[in-house]
Homo-oligomer: A and B are copies of this chain.
Amino acid sequence: MNIHHKLKEKGLKITPQRLVVMEAIFQLNNHPSAENIIEYVKEKFPNISVATVYKVLDIFVEKGILKKVKTDKDVMRYEGYLERHHHLFCDETHQIKDFHNKELDAIIQNYFSKYKIKDFEIKDFQLNINGVFKAS
């Protein structure tokens, strides 16, 4: 269940570059952009090429090891948390936070099991929640 196994399982070679990209994703842990990841990775691996990072991210997404997070900016963001979950988007700071809630998932799931969408087979869903973060 660790990265090594995951790469093996997907038929990908285990390389230090791939490992450090995964580490970056989990350490940064806030839906980082490629740029964020490159910055992190360069600390430990100053000679890594940006192209390598992009290629690693691409292949990880293709193999289902990472997911892209859609935003309304032209910079792609990534995450390694693959379970179903939703996102809180701050209108002001553009921060993104995860929101998990089994109960809500079940409610929506249940709704779709009763009311099928014509000519469409649902594979997955996520709720985008827009608003503003308030100080606690």
Identify A108's interface contact among B71, B72, B127, CB under 8 A: B127
Contact mask for chain A residues 95-136; partner B; CB cutoff 8 A; 1 contact, 0 none: 001010101100110010001011111111111111111111
Nearest CB on B from A90, distance (A):
8
For chain A, give the interface size range.
35 or more
Bound CA span A132–B91, Å: 30
Q: Which residues of B contact A123 (CB under 8 A)?
A: 91, 130-132
Would you call A76 an interface residue if the criterion is a C-beta within 8 Å of the partner chain's C-beta atoms? yes
Chain A residues engaging chain B, CB cutoff 8 angstroms: 68, 70-72, 74, 76, 88, 91, 97, 99, 101, 103-104, 107-108, 111, 115, 117-136
